[in-house]
Structure 1
C-alpha cells in the first residue's frame, strides 16, 4: 500500500478513487465489508490505499478513506471514523484496517 497523492477533503479523495475504478460503497459489519453486492470476509480483500483526515476543531470529524479490492476483483471505497468516533470492530478487522 502506497500513498500516491493526498487529497484535501474526504469528498475529493472519494471522487478521485471513483475515477480509478473504486466504485462500490463499502460498510463494516463484524468480520466483513458489505455492499449492495454482498459480503466480503476480512481475509478476502486488500487495502490498496488509505487517506486519513483529522478534524481541525472536532475530534468526531476524524475519518479514514480506504481504497479496497477484493480477491474476486470488486473495487470500492470504505469511509470509516477512527479515534473517538470509531465503530466497534472485530480484532481481525481492526488489524486489517490499521493505518501503518
Structure 2
C-alpha cells in the first residue's frame, strides 16, 4: 500500500488513478451526489484506506477510503476517525471498521 505525507497527496494520487467521485456517509449507505448514486454496504468495496493524524490535535485525525462500487463507480470517502459516533447503520459501521482495524 502507498504511503502519503498528507491527505491532499493521497486524494490527488487516488484521483489520478480513477477515484474521481466524492462519497458522503448517509444513515445506511454512501451517497455520491455528482452521480446521484447511493451505495449500500454490499454494493461497494473499500480497495484502499489511509490514516492521517494531526501533529498535535486529536481532532485532526482523519481517514480516506478508496471506494469502488459493484458497478465500477470509483471515488473517495474522507472522514474523521470518530465516524462510528455518527448516526449510521450497524452495517455501515461494520463495513468501515473491518478495513481500518485490520
Would the TM-score normalized by the shorter structure come out above 0.5?
A: yes
Unaligned runs of 5+ in 1: none
Q: Secondary structure of the equivalent of 1:92?
A: helix
Q: Secondary structure of the equivalent of 1:7?
A: coil
Separation in 2 of the partners of 1:26 and 1:54? 21
Any conservation in 1 of the 2:19–2:75 contact (CA below 8 Å)? yes
Higher helix share: 2
Separation in 1 of the partners of 2:49 and 2:43? 17
RMSD of the TM alignment (CA)?
1.6
Shift of 1:20: 0.5
1:81 maps to what in 2?
Answer: 80
Separation in 2 of the partners of 1:91 and 1:16? 31
Q: TM-score, normalised by structure 1?
A: 0.89
Q: Secondary structure of the equivalent of 2:68?
A: strand
Taking a change above 3 Å as real, the CA distance of residues 69 and 84 of structure 1, as seen in their structure-2 partners, is: closer
Any conservation in 1 of the 2:48–2:65 contact (CA below 8 Å)? yes
Separation in 1 of the partners of 2:66 and 2:86? 18
Shift of 1:95: 0.9
Any conservation in 2 of the 1:68–1:77 contact (CA below 8 Å)? yes
Q: TM-score, normalised by structure 2?
A: 0.87
2:10 maps to what in 1?
Answer: 13
1:25 maps to what in 2?
Answer: 22
